[in-house]
Amino acid sequence: MKVLNGDIANFIEFLDKTPTPFHVFSRLSEALEEAGCKKISLSDVSSCERGKPYYIPYSDSALLAFFAGSGEPEKGSGRILIGAAHVDYPVFKIKNTKVRKGSGVLRMNIEMYGGAIVHPWLDRALKITGRVYFKKDGRLSFADIGDFGRRFVIPNAAIHMNRGINDGAKFSIQNQLLPFFGLDSEDGEEAFAKMIAEKVSEVSGTEGITPKGIMSFDLSLVIAEGASLCGASDEFILAQGLDDRSMVYTLFSGFTGALAEDTANAKTGDIRLAFAFNHEECGSETDVGARSAFASEAVKAIAEKFFPEEHCLDVCQRSLLLSADMGHATHPSFPEFSDSTSPIELGKGIVLKTAWNQSYSTKAEPMAEFASFCEENGIPYQRFTNNSDNRGGGTIGPMLSASLGIKTCDIGIPILAMHSPKELGAVKDHEDTAKLFKAFFS
Protein backbone atom coordinates (compact mmCIF):
# COMPACT_ATOMS: atom_id res chain seq x y z
CA MET A 1 0.00 0.00 0.00
CA LYS A 2 1.49 3.31 -1.06
CA VAL A 3 -1.28 5.38 0.51
CA LEU A 4 -0.78 6.57 4.09
CA ASN A 5 -4.07 6.17 5.93
CA GLY A 6 -3.30 6.20 9.65
CA ASP A 7 -4.11 2.50 10.06
CA ILE A 8 -1.68 0.63 12.35
CA ALA A 9 -1.20 -2.29 9.92
CA ASN A 10 -0.40 0.20 7.19
CA PHE A 11 2.07 1.92 9.50
CA ILE A 12 3.87 -1.34 10.32
CA GLU A 13 4.19 -2.03 6.61
CA PHE A 14 5.55 1.51 6.17
CA LEU A 15 8.17 0.95 8.89
CA ASP A 16 9.33 -2.33 7.37
CA LYS A 17 9.63 -0.80 3.89
CA THR A 18 11.47 2.39 4.91
CA PRO A 19 14.68 1.42 6.73
CA THR A 20 16.60 4.52 5.56
CA PRO A 21 15.78 8.19 4.84
CA PHE A 22 16.09 7.39 1.12
CA HIS A 23 13.32 4.82 1.40
CA VAL A 24 11.14 7.18 3.46
CA PHE A 25 11.65 9.88 0.83
CA SER A 26 10.65 7.50 -1.96
CA ARG A 27 7.59 6.20 -0.10
CA LEU A 28 6.34 9.69 0.74
CA SER A 29 6.76 10.74 -2.88
CA GLU A 30 4.71 7.74 -4.06
CA ALA A 31 1.97 8.44 -1.51
CA LEU A 32 1.77 12.12 -2.47
CA GLU A 33 1.57 11.23 -6.17
CA GLU A 34 -1.23 8.79 -5.38
CA ALA A 35 -3.04 11.52 -3.43
CA GLY A 36 -2.99 13.77 -6.49
CA CYS A 37 -0.03 16.01 -5.69
CA LYS A 38 1.96 17.33 -8.63
CA LYS A 39 5.74 17.16 -8.42
CA ILE A 40 7.38 20.55 -8.98
CA SER A 41 10.58 22.43 -8.22
CA LEU A 42 10.97 25.61 -6.18
CA SER A 43 11.22 27.54 -9.44
CA ASP A 44 7.71 26.36 -10.37
CA VAL A 45 5.98 27.80 -7.28
CA SER A 46 5.19 31.05 -9.09
CA SER A 47 2.91 29.15 -11.48
CA CYS A 48 1.04 27.14 -8.83
CA GLU A 49 -2.72 27.50 -8.45
CA ARG A 50 -5.04 27.61 -5.47
CA GLY A 51 -7.02 24.47 -4.81
CA LYS A 52 -4.32 22.18 -6.26
CA PRO A 53 -1.81 20.16 -4.18
CA TYR A 54 1.91 20.02 -4.95
CA TYR A 55 5.10 18.53 -3.56
CA ILE A 56 8.71 19.57 -3.88
CA PRO A 57 11.50 17.00 -3.42
CA TYR A 58 14.81 18.51 -2.35
CA SER A 59 18.12 16.77 -2.92
CA ASP A 60 17.95 13.09 -1.92
CA SER A 61 16.07 12.98 1.39
CA ALA A 62 13.96 16.07 2.10
CA LEU A 63 10.67 17.29 0.72
CA LEU A 64 7.62 19.42 1.34
CA ALA A 65 4.00 19.07 0.27
CA PHE A 66 1.53 21.95 0.21
CA PHE A 67 -1.79 23.25 -0.98
CA ALA A 68 -3.47 26.63 -0.80
CA GLY A 69 -7.20 26.76 -0.21
CA SER A 70 -9.18 28.04 -3.17
CA GLY A 71 -10.50 31.09 -1.31
CA GLU A 72 -8.80 34.48 -1.52
CA PRO A 73 -8.20 35.71 2.04
CA GLU A 74 -8.41 39.37 2.87
CA LYS A 75 -5.10 41.12 3.35
CA GLY A 76 -3.86 40.56 6.88
CA SER A 77 -5.83 37.35 7.50
CA GLY A 78 -4.16 34.53 5.56
CA ARG A 79 -2.04 31.97 7.41
CA ILE A 80 0.35 29.11 6.77
CA LEU A 81 -0.22 25.95 8.82
CA ILE A 82 2.97 23.87 8.87
CA GLY A 83 3.83 20.41 10.15
CA ALA A 84 7.48 19.31 10.17
CA ALA A 85 9.23 16.05 11.10
CA HIS A 86 12.53 14.27 10.44
CA VAL A 87 13.17 10.97 8.69
CA ASP A 88 16.41 9.73 10.30
CA TYR A 89 17.15 7.69 13.45
CA PRO A 90 20.27 6.30 15.18
CA VAL A 91 21.97 3.45 13.30
CA PHE A 92 25.40 2.02 12.65
CA LYS A 93 26.96 3.36 9.45
CA ILE A 94 29.46 1.37 7.40
CA LYS A 95 32.58 3.50 6.90
CA ASN A 96 34.09 1.51 4.04
CA THR A 97 34.64 -2.08 2.90
CA LYS A 98 37.79 -2.43 4.99
CA VAL A 99 37.65 -5.37 7.40
CA ARG A 100 39.36 -6.00 10.72
CA LYS A 101 40.97 -9.43 11.15
CA GLY A 102 41.37 -11.28 14.44
CA SER A 103 40.68 -14.65 16.07
CA GLY A 104 39.75 -16.16 12.74
CA VAL A 105 36.94 -13.74 11.82
CA LEU A 106 36.45 -10.62 9.71
CA ARG A 107 34.67 -7.62 11.24
CA MET A 108 33.15 -4.59 9.53
CA ASN A 109 34.40 -1.04 10.02
CA ILE A 110 31.48 1.02 11.36
CA GLU A 111 30.60 4.22 13.24
CA MET A 112 27.49 5.27 15.16
CA TYR A 113 25.13 7.78 13.57
CA GLY A 114 23.18 9.75 16.18
CA GLY A 115 23.04 9.28 19.93
CA ALA A 116 22.06 5.66 20.50
CA ILE A 117 21.57 3.37 23.47
CA VAL A 118 24.37 1.04 22.45
CA HIS A 119 24.23 -2.19 24.48
CA PRO A 120 20.89 -3.51 23.06
CA TRP A 121 22.55 -3.72 19.62
CA LEU A 122 24.59 -6.74 20.70
CA ASP A 123 23.49 -10.31 19.96
CA ARG A 124 20.81 -9.22 17.48
CA ALA A 125 20.45 -10.14 13.82
CA LEU A 126 21.42 -7.08 11.76
CA LYS A 127 20.94 -6.30 8.08
CA ILE A 128 22.63 -3.90 5.66
CA THR A 129 20.46 -1.35 3.88
CA GLY A 130 20.93 1.96 2.08
CA ARG A 131 22.00 3.61 -1.16
CA VAL A 132 24.89 2.75 -3.47
CA TYR A 133 26.23 4.94 -6.27
CA PHE A 134 27.76 3.03 -9.18
CA LYS A 135 29.22 3.67 -12.61
CA LYS A 136 28.68 1.53 -15.69
CA ASP A 137 29.66 2.41 -19.24
CA GLY A 138 30.53 5.94 -18.14
CA ARG A 139 27.11 6.57 -16.60
CA LEU A 140 26.68 7.36 -12.88
CA SER A 141 23.56 5.91 -11.22
CA PHE A 142 22.35 4.81 -7.80
CA ALA A 143 20.37 1.95 -6.30
CA ASP A 144 18.36 1.96 -3.06
CA ILE A 145 18.64 -1.43 -1.37
CA GLY A 146 16.23 -2.39 1.39
CA ASP A 147 17.97 -5.61 2.41
CA PHE A 148 21.14 -7.32 1.17
CA GLY A 149 19.63 -10.63 2.25
CA ARG A 150 22.48 -11.55 4.63
CA ARG A 151 22.44 -11.34 8.41
CA PHE A 152 25.23 -10.09 10.67
CA VAL A 153 25.80 -9.86 14.43
CA ILE A 154 27.84 -8.13 17.15
CA PRO A 155 28.34 -10.89 19.73
CA ASN A 156 28.75 -10.11 23.41
CA ALA A 157 31.53 -11.42 25.63
CA ALA A 158 30.37 -14.26 27.89
CA ILE A 159 29.49 -13.37 31.47
CA HIS A 160 32.07 -15.97 32.59
CA MET A 161 34.77 -13.74 31.08
CA ASN A 162 33.25 -10.36 31.89
CA ARG A 163 31.78 -10.80 35.36
CA GLY A 164 30.93 -7.11 35.64
CA ILE A 165 28.85 -6.94 32.46
CA ASN A 166 25.62 -6.38 34.43
CA ASP A 167 27.18 -3.63 36.54
CA GLY A 168 27.16 -1.19 33.65
CA ALA A 169 27.91 -1.61 29.97
CA LYS A 170 30.44 0.66 28.27
CA PHE A 171 31.87 -0.18 24.87
CA SER A 172 34.38 1.13 22.34
CA ILE A 173 32.57 1.46 19.03
CA GLN A 174 35.91 1.65 17.24
CA ASN A 175 37.21 -1.64 18.64
CA GLN A 176 34.47 -3.67 20.34
CA LEU A 177 31.20 -3.11 18.47
CA LEU A 178 32.31 -4.33 15.05
CA PRO A 179 29.78 -6.64 13.37
CA PHE A 180 31.08 -10.02 12.23
CA PHE A 181 31.24 -10.19 8.43
CA GLY A 182 32.46 -13.78 8.12
CA LEU A 183 35.30 -16.19 8.71
CA ASP A 184 38.81 -14.98 7.99
CA SER A 185 39.94 -15.22 4.38
CA GLU A 186 42.51 -13.65 2.10
CA ASP A 187 39.82 -11.93 0.03
CA GLY A 188 37.79 -10.52 2.95
CA GLU A 189 37.71 -6.93 1.75
CA GLU A 190 37.20 -8.00 -1.83
CA ALA A 191 34.34 -10.26 -0.72
CA PHE A 192 32.59 -7.33 0.98
CA ALA A 193 32.89 -5.10 -2.09
CA LYS A 194 31.86 -7.99 -4.34
CA MET A 195 28.72 -8.57 -2.25
CA ILE A 196 27.75 -4.91 -2.71
CA ALA A 197 28.40 -4.99 -6.46
CA GLU A 198 26.37 -8.18 -6.95
CA LYS A 199 23.40 -6.79 -5.02
CA VAL A 200 23.48 -3.51 -6.94
CA SER A 201 23.49 -5.46 -10.22
CA GLU A 202 20.46 -7.43 -9.04
CA VAL A 203 18.47 -4.43 -7.79
CA SER A 204 19.30 -2.07 -10.66
CA GLY A 205 19.02 -4.66 -13.41
CA THR A 206 22.45 -3.58 -14.65
CA GLU A 207 24.68 -6.52 -15.48
CA GLY A 208 28.41 -6.60 -15.04
CA ILE A 209 28.86 -4.16 -12.16
CA THR A 210 32.21 -4.80 -10.48
CA PRO A 211 33.64 -3.61 -7.17
CA LYS A 212 35.61 -1.00 -9.14
CA GLY A 213 32.30 0.33 -10.45
CA ILE A 214 31.08 1.16 -6.94
CA MET A 215 31.76 4.89 -6.56
CA SER A 216 30.36 5.50 -3.07
CA PHE A 217 27.63 4.39 -0.69
CA ASP A 218 25.52 5.37 2.31
CA LEU A 219 24.94 2.01 3.98
CA SER A 220 23.51 1.36 7.44
CA LEU A 221 23.25 -1.62 9.72
CA VAL A 222 19.77 -1.85 11.21
CA ILE A 223 17.82 -4.43 13.20
CA ALA A 224 16.71 -7.22 10.88
CA GLU A 225 13.55 -7.97 12.86
CA GLY A 226 10.57 -5.97 11.66
CA ALA A 227 8.07 -3.88 13.60
CA SER A 228 5.44 -5.71 15.63
CA LEU A 229 2.53 -5.29 17.99
CA CYS A 230 2.86 -6.53 21.55
CA GLY A 231 1.00 -6.53 24.86
CA ALA A 232 -1.96 -8.54 26.09
CA SER A 233 -4.28 -6.84 23.60
CA ASP A 234 -1.70 -5.75 20.99
CA GLU A 235 -1.92 -2.28 22.47
CA PHE A 236 1.79 -1.50 22.03
CA ILE A 237 3.94 -1.13 18.96
CA LEU A 238 7.59 -2.20 19.13
CA ALA A 239 9.92 -1.02 16.37
CA GLN A 240 13.21 0.55 15.46
CA GLY A 241 13.03 4.19 14.44
CA LEU A 242 9.61 5.12 15.82
CA ASP A 243 11.52 8.33 16.50
CA ASP A 244 10.74 9.93 14.15
CA ARG A 245 9.10 7.82 11.46
CA SER A 246 5.91 7.64 13.53
CA MET A 247 5.57 11.42 13.32
CA VAL A 248 6.51 11.46 9.63
CA TYR A 249 3.84 8.87 8.89
CA THR A 250 1.05 10.51 10.90
CA LEU A 251 1.97 13.96 9.55
CA PHE A 252 1.75 12.94 5.91
CA SER A 253 -1.21 10.60 6.39
CA GLY A 254 -3.02 13.60 7.89
CA PHE A 255 -2.01 15.75 4.92
CA THR A 256 -3.15 13.22 2.29
CA GLY A 257 -6.26 12.46 4.33
CA ALA A 258 -7.23 16.13 4.21
CA LEU A 259 -6.73 16.11 0.45
CA ALA A 260 -9.03 13.10 0.14
CA GLU A 261 -11.79 15.20 1.69
CA ASP A 262 -11.14 17.93 -0.89
CA THR A 263 -9.87 20.37 1.71
CA ALA A 264 -7.74 22.04 -0.96
CA ASN A 265 -10.92 23.47 -2.40
CA ALA A 266 -12.17 24.75 0.93
CA LYS A 267 -13.08 28.42 0.90
CA THR A 268 -10.39 29.35 3.39
CA GLY A 269 -7.32 30.72 1.66
CA ASP A 270 -4.89 29.34 4.23
CA ILE A 271 -1.88 27.33 3.08
CA ARG A 272 -1.22 23.85 4.46
CA LEU A 273 2.35 22.63 4.31
CA ALA A 274 4.15 19.43 5.45
CA PHE A 275 7.96 19.17 5.67
CA ALA A 276 10.21 16.10 5.98
CA PHE A 277 13.88 16.73 6.81
CA ASN A 278 16.93 14.52 7.26
CA HIS A 279 19.92 14.63 9.65
CA GLU A 280 18.13 15.78 12.81
CA GLU A 281 20.02 13.17 14.81
CA CYS A 282 23.34 14.82 13.99
CA GLY A 283 22.36 18.49 14.26
CA SER A 284 20.39 19.31 11.07
CA GLU A 285 23.21 21.41 9.59
CA THR A 286 23.19 19.89 6.11
CA ASP A 287 21.58 20.66 2.76
CA VAL A 288 18.63 18.40 3.67
CA GLY A 289 18.45 19.29 7.36
CA ALA A 290 16.07 21.70 9.07
CA ARG A 291 18.85 24.31 9.33
CA SER A 292 19.26 24.43 5.56
CA ALA A 293 17.99 27.20 3.29
CA PHE A 294 15.32 24.84 1.94
CA ALA A 295 12.70 25.63 4.58
CA SER A 296 12.99 29.42 4.58
CA GLU A 297 13.30 29.74 0.80
CA ALA A 298 10.34 27.43 0.20
CA VAL A 299 8.05 29.19 2.68
CA LYS A 300 9.07 32.57 1.31
CA ALA A 301 8.33 31.52 -2.28
CA ILE A 302 4.94 30.05 -1.36
CA ALA A 303 3.95 33.06 0.77
CA GLU A 304 4.93 35.51 -1.97
CA LYS A 305 2.93 33.54 -4.52
CA PHE A 306 -0.32 33.28 -2.57
CA PHE A 307 -0.07 36.45 -0.43
CA PRO A 308 1.61 38.80 -2.94
CA GLU A 309 0.61 42.01 -1.17
CA GLU A 310 2.25 41.07 2.14
CA HIS A 311 5.74 40.47 3.45
CA CYS A 312 6.46 36.83 4.21
CA LEU A 313 7.24 37.61 7.88
CA ASP A 314 3.89 39.38 8.29
CA VAL A 315 2.15 36.19 7.13
CA CYS A 316 4.36 34.00 9.33
CA GLN A 317 3.48 36.00 12.46
CA ARG A 318 -0.15 34.89 12.03
CA SER A 319 0.80 31.31 11.24
CA LEU A 320 1.52 28.17 13.26
CA LEU A 321 4.10 25.41 12.98
CA LEU A 322 3.85 22.00 14.65
CA SER A 323 7.32 20.54 15.21
CA ALA A 324 6.55 16.82 15.24
CA ASP A 325 9.15 14.78 17.12
CA MET A 326 8.61 11.91 19.53
CA GLY A 327 8.18 12.60 23.24
CA HIS A 328 9.17 10.83 26.45
CA ALA A 329 6.67 8.79 28.41
CA THR A 330 7.22 8.38 32.15
CA HIS A 331 8.88 5.02 32.74
CA PRO A 332 7.22 3.14 35.64
CA SER A 333 10.54 1.48 36.50
CA PHE A 334 12.51 4.74 36.38
CA PRO A 335 10.09 7.52 37.43
CA GLU A 336 12.95 9.58 38.90
CA PHE A 337 14.03 10.61 35.40
CA SER A 338 10.75 12.47 34.79
CA ASP A 339 9.04 15.50 36.33
CA SER A 340 6.70 14.00 38.94
CA THR A 341 4.19 16.84 38.44
CA SER A 342 3.77 16.03 34.75
CA PRO A 343 3.56 12.23 34.37
CA ILE A 344 3.17 11.18 30.73
CA GLU A 345 1.25 7.96 30.14
CA LEU A 346 1.27 5.70 27.09
CA GLY A 347 -2.12 5.66 25.39
CA LYS A 348 -3.26 8.97 26.84
CA GLY A 349 -2.50 11.22 23.88
CA ILE A 350 0.21 13.22 22.17
CA VAL A 351 2.49 15.35 24.33
CA LEU A 352 2.79 19.13 24.12
CA LYS A 353 6.40 19.82 25.09
CA THR A 354 7.58 22.92 26.92
CA ALA A 355 10.97 24.11 28.15
CA TRP A 356 11.40 27.77 28.99
CA ASN A 357 15.07 27.68 27.99
CA GLN A 358 13.65 27.04 24.48
CA SER A 359 15.19 23.63 23.86
CA TYR A 360 11.54 23.13 22.88
CA SER A 361 10.06 26.07 21.03
CA THR A 362 6.58 26.10 22.57
CA LYS A 363 5.63 29.47 24.07
CA ALA A 364 2.43 30.46 25.88
CA GLU A 365 0.47 31.77 22.88
CA PRO A 366 0.90 28.78 20.52
CA MET A 367 0.49 26.48 23.53
CA ALA A 368 -2.95 27.96 24.12
CA GLU A 369 -3.84 27.69 20.43
CA PHE A 370 -2.84 24.04 20.29
CA ALA A 371 -4.65 23.14 23.51
CA SER A 372 -7.78 24.86 22.26
CA PHE A 373 -7.52 23.08 18.90
CA CYS A 374 -7.24 19.67 20.59
CA GLU A 375 -10.21 20.32 22.86
CA GLU A 376 -12.37 21.53 19.98
CA ASN A 377 -11.57 18.40 17.95
CA GLY A 378 -11.78 15.88 20.79
CA ILE A 379 -8.09 14.94 20.53
CA PRO A 380 -6.39 13.86 23.79
CA TYR A 381 -3.10 15.51 24.71
CA GLN A 382 -0.70 15.69 27.65
CA ARG A 383 1.60 18.48 28.79
CA PHE A 384 5.25 17.55 29.13
CA THR A 385 7.98 19.27 31.11
CA ASN A 386 11.52 18.02 31.67
CA ASN A 387 12.95 17.03 35.01
CA SER A 388 14.75 20.26 35.95
CA ASP A 389 17.99 18.35 36.58
CA ASN A 390 17.88 16.86 33.08
CA ARG A 391 17.71 19.15 30.06
CA GLY A 392 16.20 16.50 27.79
CA GLY A 393 16.57 16.26 24.02
CA GLY A 394 16.25 18.82 21.25
CA THR A 395 14.05 19.09 18.17
CA ILE A 396 13.87 20.91 14.85
CA GLY A 397 11.26 23.25 16.38
CA PRO A 398 13.54 26.04 17.68
CA MET A 399 15.61 26.24 14.48
CA LEU A 400 12.54 26.38 12.24
CA SER A 401 10.81 28.88 14.50
CA ALA A 402 13.85 31.14 14.32
CA SER A 403 14.49 30.85 10.58
CA LEU A 404 10.83 31.26 9.60
CA GLY A 405 9.77 33.74 12.27
CA ILE A 406 6.75 31.62 13.11
CA LYS A 407 4.99 30.57 16.32
CA THR A 408 5.78 26.93 17.02
CA CYS A 409 4.56 24.07 19.20
CA ASP A 410 6.78 21.08 19.88
CA ILE A 411 4.62 17.97 20.01
CA GLY A 412 5.24 14.24 19.88
CA ILE A 413 3.87 10.76 20.43
CA PRO A 414 5.17 9.49 23.83
CA ILE A 415 7.43 6.45 23.76
CA LEU A 416 9.82 4.52 25.99
CA ALA A 417 13.39 3.42 25.16
CA MET A 418 13.94 6.35 22.79
CA HIS A 419 17.07 5.79 20.67
CA SER A 420 17.21 2.12 21.57
CA PRO A 421 17.19 -0.28 18.59
CA LYS A 422 13.64 -1.12 19.67
CA GLU A 423 11.35 1.68 20.88
CA LEU A 424 7.93 1.19 22.48
CA GLY A 425 4.79 3.23 21.89
CA ALA A 426 1.03 2.85 22.20
CA VAL A 427 -1.17 2.10 19.20
CA LYS A 428 -3.87 4.48 20.45
CA ASP A 429 -1.44 7.42 20.52
CA HIS A 430 -0.45 6.70 16.94
CA GLU A 431 -4.09 6.60 15.82
CA ASP A 432 -5.01 9.76 17.74
CA THR A 433 -2.05 11.63 16.25
CA ALA A 434 -3.07 10.67 12.72
CA LYS A 435 -6.50 12.15 13.50
CA LEU A 436 -4.83 15.27 14.91
CA PHE A 437 -2.90 16.00 11.73
CA LYS A 438 -5.90 15.32 9.52
CA ALA A 439 -7.91 17.84 11.54
CA PHE A 440 -4.98 20.31 11.48
CA PHE A 441 -4.73 20.23 7.69
CA SER A 442 -8.50 20.30 7.30
Residue 355 counted as domain residue: yes
Same domain, 270 and 349: yes
In-domain check, residue 231: no
Predicted pLDDT of residue 1? 40
Cα 183 from Cα 102, distance rounded (Å) = 10
Examine the domain organization and report whether 264 and 402 are in the same domain: yes
Mean per-residue pLDDT pooled into runs of 10, the chain (442 residues): 79 97 97 97 97 96 96 90 98 96 96 96 98 95 96 96 87 95 89 96 93 97 98 98 97 95 81 97 95 96 96 96 97 93 96 90 94 97 91 89 96 98 97 96 92
pLDDT given for residue 286 in this prediction? 96
Residues 6+ apart with CB under 8 A from 411: 322, 323, 324, 325, 327, 350, 351, 352, 353, 370, 381
d(CA 89, CA 72): 40
Q: What is the pLDDT of residue 406?
A: 97
DSSP state of 105: E
pLDDT of residue 390: 82
Q: What is the DSSP string of 236-268?
A: EEEETTHHHHHHHHHHHHHHHHHHHTTGGGSS-
What would the pLDDT profile of 93-110 be if each residue is shown by its tens digit?
A: 999 999 999 999 999 999
Q: Is the dihedral of CA 258, 259, 261, 267 positive or negative?
A: positive
- The pLDDT of residue 356 is 86
Q: Is 158 a member of any domain? A: yes
Find residue 67's DSSP bridge partners: 272
Do 137 and 244 lie in a common domain? no
Is the bond preceding residue 244 a cis peptide, omega within 30 degrees?
Answer: yes
Residue 266 lies in a domain: yes
Answer with the one of 198, 223, 248 that is the final residue of a domain. Answer: 223
CATH number at residue 195: 2.30.250.10
Quick one: 112 and 84 in the same domain? Answer: no
The string over 125-139, giving b where at least 16 C-beta atoms fall within 10 Å of a residue's C-beta and e elsewhere, is: ebbbbbbbebebeee
**362 in a structural domain:** yes
What per-residue confidence (pLDDT) applies to 2? 61
Please check whether residue 2 lies inside any domain of the structure: no
Whether residue 272 sits in one domain with residue 414: yes
Between CA 192 and CA 294 the distance in angstroms is: 37
What is the extent of the structural domain holding 321? 8-89+240-441
Domain total of the chain: 2
Domain boundary among 160, 191, 223: 223
Which CATH number does the domain housing residue 379 bear?
A: 3.40.630.10
> Same domain for 70 and 149?
no
Q: Of 159, 194, 223, which residue constitutes the final position of a domain?
A: 223
Same domain, 35 and 70: yes
The verdict on pTM exceeding 0.85 is yes
**Are 218 and 248 contained in the same domain?**
no
Separation CA 181–CA 153 (nearest Å):
8
| 229 in any annotated domain | no
Residues 338 and 365 in one domain: yes
pLDDT digits (tens, 9 = 90+) for 250-260: 999 999 999 98
In a 3-state reduction of DSSP, which class is residue 56?
A: strand
Cα gap 253→156, rounded to integer Å: 40
215 and 251 inside one domain: no
Does 373 lie in the same domain as 302? yes
**Beta carbons within 8 Å of 150's beta carbon, 6+ residues apart:** 127, 128, 195
Q: Which stretches of 278-391 are assigned E, i.e. beta strand?
A: 320-324, 327-328, 350-354, 381-385
Co-location of 48 and 98 in the same domain? no
- Answer whether residue 230 is part of any domain: no
